[in-house]
Structure 1
Amino acid sequence: MLDQVAELIREVAATIVLPRWRHLATDEIDQKAPGDLVTIADKESERALTRGLTALLPGSAVVGEESVAADPSVLDRLGNGGAVWIVDPVDGTNNFAAGKKPFAVMVALLRDGEPAASWILDVPGDNLTVAEAGSGAYRDGVRLKTRTDDPGVGTLRGVVASHYLPERLRRVAAGNATAFGQVTKGHHCAGYEYPAVAVDEQQFALFWRILPWDHVPGSLIIREAGGMALHLDGTPYRPTDSERGLLIAANDDIWRTARDTIFPDLSIL
């Protein structure tokens, strides 16, 4: 099924998403909330993925970003047993709508609440990253293994996605992040940030808002590549979690270095 889902994602990206990149009409872009865009490509991509995924796995349910936006009760399916697909039809929609990179299509499969497989297609880059629980993570067929050393805080590169951080935490994070070799606010596309840690383009990323379609696919990839995806208090990330932030890193040592550098006093969390 890994290959079948990959083929479906590539087909949807090639026939629905990519043709509309830099060709969206004004009336094909809406706002779900201030600053939170949705396009005709998001909606059509999710419909096509939903049809294809449920055909591949009859009886499965789907939790898609746009279906939840239309009906928040759809999110309750994450707590159900059986097979549940999580779909982000266009991750990085604001980039996509602005005609910029990166953006991605992401899918994850839960079985009885546990991530079983995930797929992230970097659409403009045409890179496909896939993970299967217990079987590793691969990018374009090449197995991924995260780095195993900690080169020290002064050389680490990473992301602190501060937009959704509470103000008190944002100030602390901004002040402490200067200790790293390089820190950015990210690319506004989780489908870019997770593989970037897996291939050592960066070594960590901190997120606060952790919607399942943004983070379930990538967190499985990171874990299967040898990295860490934990809440800031060190507890495991679960698909039903929506709070407490999420820190991903190439390995346990880098995770602790990044966490303790950004928030040395955990009592403020």
Structure 2
Amino acid sequence: MTMPLDIAKLADILRLAAKEEILPRFRRLGSGDVRSKSEPSDLVTEADEAAERLIRRELEALAPDALFVGEESVAADPSLLAKLGSSDFAIVVDPVDGTFNFASGIPAFGVMASVVWKGETVAGIIYDPMGDDWVMAEKGAGAFLRRPDGDAVRLAVAEATPIGDMVGMASPGYFFGEERERLLANLAKVRFFANYRCAAHEYRTFAGGHVQYLLYNKLMPWDHLAGTLIATEAGGYAARFDGSAYLPNHVDGGLLVATCKDSWQMLRRELIGD
């Protein structure tokens, strides 16, 4: 398909925001530069807000007709989220994914953007400010690790393995009550699970072929649209827990990403259950 904007230019904007607004603040945040939102671990920093302002300003010139849906913009105006499902052209941005890590001085955070065209995610970009490279995909064109010097490496997910050998990422913190207890018990069936508190790096790790699954319950579009497209373009399989496709307007229903459909079905049965 023909992209509604230049993806390379969008990638450059994410890098610019990191260079100008995010990295200069890393491990230099003052006491008034970090605030809580919905809970003590749900943070926003001056870097998040400044980076989103820069990205939005640059996108107004690059794609003036696009609906801009940024994590911090939605925090200020929740009605933006509802507009995403009906917009023909939208750009969804997470200016600092992994804000808890960033605010804690942990070098595991990213800048993410996705392009939604007529209700479908058609491009996704995850920029790593510390490594200075992008993982990105356009629908139907594969997923790639790209570097500023122009070098590009095509990404492919890991080979399928038995559940007892699987390593991956799961976020039990957004499951509650008996559902959480059941998930934690069932995760004993896999070899290993981790949680980076940063979807950007979790999706990068999956698309690079280093883990076999990702599991989430909370679905905000800035956290998952880019990564899900990249994961599937790298050869993976993704769907909500009920087996339905994950779409830009979905904010619930859970999300399971696996190396193939057969692995997805087995993980769904063994980890989520009925």
TM-score, length basis structure 1? 0.94
Aligned counterpart for 1:21 among listed residues 26, 32, 35: 26
Gaps of 5+ in 1: none
**Aligned residue runs from structure 1 range 75-154, under 5 A:** 75-140=81-146, 141-147=152-158, 149-154=159-164
Select which of 67, 70, 77 maps to 1:71. Answer: 77
% identity of equivalent residues: 38
**Deviation of residue 55 (structure 1)?**
1.2
Tell me, in whole angstroms, the C-alpha distance in 1 between the residues paired with 2:203 and 2:50.
Answer: 25
1:45 matches 2:56: no
Shift of 1:233: 1.3
Shift of residue 244 of structure 1? 1.2
User: How far apart are residue 80 of structure 1 and its match?
Assistant: 2.6
Pick one of 153, 169, 174 that aligns with 2:184: 174
Deviation at 1:79, TM superposition (A): 2.0
- Which residue of structure 1 lines up, in the alignment, with residue 254 of structure 2? 245
| 1:253 counterpart letter in structure 2 | D
Map of 1:10 onto structure 2: 15
Runs of 4+ aligned structure 1 residues displaced above 6 Å come to none
**C-alpha separation between the residues in 1 aligned to 2:132 and 2:113?**
16
Q: Provide the C-alpha distance between the structure 2 equivalents of 1:69 and 1:81, rounded to a whole number of angstroms.
A: 19
Aligned residue number for residue 199 of structure 1:
208
> Please, which of 239, 248, 269 is the counterpart of residue 230 of structure 1?
239
Q: TM-score, normalised by structure 2?
A: 0.93
User: How far did 1:40 drift?
Assistant: 0.5
Structure 2 residues not aligned, in runs of 5+: 1-5, 147-151
| Aligned match for 1:61, one of 61, 67, 92 | 67
User: Following the alignment from structure 2 to structure 1, what is the Cα–Cα distance between the partners of residues 63 and 164?
Assistant: 47
Equivalent-residue separation in structure 2 for 1:155 and 1:44 (angstroms): 42
For residue 200 of structure 1, report the CA deviation from its aligned partner: 1.8
Report the 3-state secondary structure (helix = DSSP H, G, I; strand = E; otherwise coil) of the residue aligned with 1:229. Answer: strand
Task: Output the amino acid matched with 1:133.
Answer: K
CA RMSD of aligned residues (A): 1.2
Aligned partners of 2:157 and 2:210 also within 8 Å: no
Number of aligned residues? 263
Distance in 2, Cα, partners of 1:151 & 1:221: 21
Q: Secondary structure of 1:200's partner?
A: coil
Give the letter for the 2:189 counterpart.
A
Shift of 1:54: 2.4
Matched, 1:162 2:164: no
CA distance, structure 2, for counterparts of residue 4 and residue 261 of structure 1: 42
Match of 2:149 in 1: none
3-state DSSP class of the match of 1:102?
A: coil
- Paired residues of 2:155 and 2:209 also in contact (CA < 8 A): no
Q: Secondary structure of 1:63's partner?
A: strand
- For residues 42-98 of structure 1, give each alpha carbon's deviation from its aligned partner in whole angstroms, at most 9, with x where no partner exists: 001111111112211121110010011011011122023321000100000010001
Counterpart position of 1:220: 229
